[in-house]
A and B are shown apart, each in its own frame.
Chain A
Amino acid sequence: MVYEQPGSSDEFLNAAYAHFEISYPKFHKMDQLCKLGFLATEILLKGTGHSEKYGETETGLVLSNANSSLDVDLKYAKTIQTGASPALFVYTLPNIVIGEISIRWHFKGENAFFVFKQFDGNFIVKYVNGLFENKLIKNCICGWVDILKEDYRALLFLVETTDSENAMTFTAGNLNQLNQQEHG
């Protein structure tokens, strides 16, 4: 447990931003999906020296979720009659979260966003291993970033080719098991 905050998803995301003392003004313009993915990546990479370790094109970013960008789609749809909001409109695609993370961390590597009914460790392992096998990346951030109204969840993994403390093997079984645990 690194941080806990009761209240709405909106309150949680903003409080987490403050708690981790992040200074990135563009955060406040983001939709909830981007905020969630952005924060999860901050926590995942904090203290790892990631930027020093890898070149700009060496990091892959492979995310998935069940609700695509529906959370902001619904908010945007409400504005159409009264004057469609460009600020919301530009977030009405799920892969925008990949863009926001990439801009923050200067990633210019391979990336993809997939929409599944549920977390699929098999698919993620297969896809990410393909990127490694084709020598397109040297490390990968992958997993799940999903939000719809008050229901939100991010589960990210950093996959590297060298062993490190507390690391586990990148297998579908391990990913699925962790997904179950975190759910419980």
Chain B
Amino acid sequence: MNVPSFVAGMGIVSAIGSDLRTNLDSLCEKRAGIGTMHWLSSARHRALPVGEVKLSNAELAAITGLSARVPRTALLSCMAAKETLINAGWEKENTLRTGFISANTVGGMDKTENFFKLFSKNTAAGKLADVVHHECGSVTELVADFLGIQHFVSTVSTACSSSANSIFTGARMIRAGMLDYALVGGADALTKFTLNGFNTLMILDKELCKPFDENRQGLNLGEGAAYLLLSSEKGLKQLHKNPVACITGYANANDAFHQTASSPEGTGSFLAMKGAMDKAGLQAKDIDYINLHGTGTQNNDIAEGTAINILFDSGFPKMSSTKAYTGHTLGASGAVEAVFSVLTIQHGIIFPNLRLETPMKEFSFRPVTELLRNQRIQNVLSNSFGFGGNCSSLIFSAA
């Protein structure tokens, strides 16, 4: 059985907005969401710019109905997942098989950090309730239970390509006839753990990040959550929905080069993009827009650019990185950018690559720096490349 999977609805919360509409407006108005740390408390990294969701845990809990004591990743996940289901018209009473495949990389680390502060001074101190949702899967379970999704629940954690891989897993399960609906995407909250880790690797920009700029200094971390409800044709009928797009291509590759760096030749990126295009039966000329992984690190942008330079040498499509808006949302980034990619198809617009002043000298192509409207966009390639060489590309096409 080989059935296509359609995008029936989307939802998102990020540094540039707490819902789909606000994200779209911010993208169109060039309103970035990265700035001074406000909700996370980190004395060590207070000066680093971050892309926080502009809501406290208490506010997120009040909006979603979850407890404010659960990990922030679960609160963000729940917020975007609920919007997706409402947007798609999916209700608990729907009897078709629904799966929830959610990605994250930090799990309940924010709560664990609170616990550890006390525990490290006194092993009898610290609330155990703060560590029960530590692992990534627990965050997914919390949200699945809250939403009432039971047929299939799974968590994907493959660094920065996590939620691209959860989308691709859901699409495959629908194609295989295993699910009628797949709520796919991911969430990650900003934590000290991730700030410390990326800081150790010396790839954080102390200023606002400049993806694909010759003078880029690194990435800014962000947080957020985004989901898509993928549906089979049968599922769409039950929702009485016209799909906004369909997912036609996906591939994952690994360049087995280094723990935290891509090969400079961009082998993994190349294989992922090429694999997704082959899967969709598309040629380079058929791709109208690339939503770049474009983190703003020296290594990512040169590797990704090199792969694009080879793959699209017959004519470069329009492209941009949206990470200068949201920061790098890690486990959520693949889904955040999948939502942005579908928005470009839906509205015929291409979002600018903010803060790009001096294009990289290695390449002749130039990312888009101004908002483009009235574009005819049939196929969009969305890249998510993670540590461990874990590279994934998705292709969304007009339905």
Contact = CB atoms under 8 A, between A and B. Distances in A.
Interface of A: 80, 84-86, 89-91, 93, 96, 99, 102-103, 108
Nearest to B260: A90
Interface stretch (B109-117, B193-201, B242-250, B294-302): B193-201
Interface string B256-280: 1111100000000000000000000
Given A86-B200, A86-B202, A89-B200, A103 B256 contact: yes
A103 B257 contact: yes
Contacts, number: 26
Contact of B196 (A84, A90, A91): A84
Contacts of A89: 197, 200-201
B199 A90 contact: no
B320 to A, nearest CB: 29
A91 B258 CA distance: 11
A85 B202 CA distance: 9
A108 B256 contact: yes
B234 to A, nearest CB: 30
B259 A96 contact: yes
Contacts of A99: 256, 259, 388
Q: Give the interface residue-count category, chain B.
A: 10 to 19
Contacts of B259: 90-91, 93, 96, 99
B108 to A, nearest CB: 19
Nearest to B254: A108
A95 to B, nearest CB: 9
B256 A84 contact: no
A102 B389 CA distance: 13
Nearest to B387: A90
A86 B256 contact: no
18 contacts: A80-B196, A84-B196, A84-B199, A86-B200, A89-B200, A89-B201, A90-B201, A90-B258, A90-B259, A90-B260, A91-B259, A93-B259, A99-B256, A99-B388, A102-B256, A103-B256, A103-B257, A108-B254
Contacts of B388: 99
Nearest to A76: B200
Contacts of B254: 108
Nearest to B258: A90
Nearest to A88: B200
B200 A85 contact: yes
A103 B259 CA distance: 11
Nearest to A107: B256
Interface string B227-259: 000000000000000000000000000101111
B66 to A, nearest CB: 31
B252 to A, nearest CB: 12
B218 to A, nearest CB: 13
Nearest to B202: A86
A29 to B, nearest CB: 10
Given A90-B201, A96-B259, A103-B256, 10 more contacts: A84-B199, A84-B200, A85-B200, A86-B202, A89-B200, A89-B201, A90-B260, A91-B259, A99-B259, A102-B256
A86 B201 contact: yes
A114 to B, nearest CB: 16
Interface in B169-225: 196-197, 199-202
A96 B389 CA distance: 12
